Amino acid sequence: MPPLLSHPLALRFVSFGAVLALWEYAGRAGVNAVFPSVSETALAWIALAADGSLGKALAVTLTPLVIGVVVSALAGIGIGLLMGLSRRAEWLGVPFFIVLQAAPLAAIIPMLILAYGIGLATKVAVVCVMAVPVIVLNSYKAVRHTPGSLLEMGQSFLATRPQMIAKVMLPSASPVIFAGLRLGVAAGFIGAILAELLISPTGIGDLITYHQSVADYPRMYAAIVTIIVMSLVFLEVLGKIEVSVFRPEKRASP
């Protein structure tokens, strides 16, 4: 491969560019009347950003999302660790979270509305319900699969239980825990948008539904693209946190 292309960033730009080109082509070719081209969408995005409505909508959407993701991450990793460390917690928790993970959770949103109304609490709850199961199950599996030789090593060098957890099990589990977090964050984004579409049209969900109803498709797509990009940014930040906090060896040589 030429050196320019072998850079991981270059590869990303190329694939990104290809998708954009395809989108622009499809938009211009008029695949569908409701499908705008990239350039139209970009102009719409600039207009939305300029009049401040995009910023406001993002803030509204991100509030329950960030709260939900942080709560899910803390609770999910905590519960997952507990299940990985204690047989009893495992016995209690595993069936429950496997059912939760398999269930179409959007179906319980009406139940949450009944319980918590249509405010912030419900939206946070939706994000959590979507994000927690996968985070829990990944953390649990990651801890359970700590290599036996590392455990024996810790034991033979007299690690206490808390040391073993903090210095051996957690770092060893961190790649799988973070994979779970990434899936959880993605699910959380779905939850946040679902909540806005199903509960009360606010934030980005409101931008999407409103511009759809007035047939302003470029703006509708601009809103959709914005939330997708936000999701990617979240995942990227997560990756950075993982490498800098837990796995410095991945930074040393990519």
Partner 1 sequence: MSTIASLTASPPIADRRAEPSTAVAVRAVSKAYPGVEALREVSLDCPAGRLTTLLGPSGCGKTTLLKIIAGLIKADAGTVEVLGRTVCGPGPERAFVFQDFALLPWANVVRNVAFGLELRDVPKSEREAVAAHYIAEVGLKGFETKYPHELSGGMRQRVGLARALAVKADVLLMDEPFSAVDEQTRRKFQEDLLRLVAQERKTFLFVTHSIEEAVYLSDRIVLLSRRPGRIWKVIEPDLPRTLSPDQIRREPVYLDTVEAIWQNLRQYVE
Q: Would you tell me which residues interact with partner 1 (CB under 8 A)?
A: 147, 149-150, 152-160, 163, 167-168, 171-172, 174, 246-249, 252-253
* In the complex, minimum distance from the CB of residue 77 to partner 1, in angstroms, rounded to a whole number: 17
In degrees rounded to 5, what are phi and psi of residue 94? -55, -50
62 or 151: CB nearest partner 1: 151
In the chain, how long is the greatest CA-to-CA distance?
A: 69
* In the complex, minimum distance from the CB of residue 143 to partner 1, in angstroms, rounded to a whole number: 15
Query: Which conformational region is residue 93 in: left (phi greater than 0), alpha (psi within -120 to 50 degrees), or beta?
Result: alpha
Asked if 179 and 138 touch (Cβ cutoff 8 Å), the reply is: yes
77 or 173: CB nearest partner 1: 173
110 or 147: CB nearest partner 1: 147
* In the complex, minimum distance from the CB of residue 242 to partner 1, in angstroms, rounded to a whole number: 11
81 or 227: CB nearest partner 1: 81
In degrees rounded to 5, what are phi and psi of residue 19? -65, -45
Tokens (6 digits) for 128: 């959590």
Tokens (6 digits) for 75: 């609770």
* In the complex, minimum distance from the CB of residue 181 to partner 1, in angstroms, rounded to a whole number: 17
37 or 139: CB nearest partner 1: 139
Tokens (6 digits) for 201: 């049209």
In degrees rounded to 5, what are phi and psi of residue 34? -90, 10
* In the complex, minimum distance from the CB of residue 249 to partner 1, in angstroms, rounded to a whole number: 4
State the residue for tokens 């903090």. Answer: 166
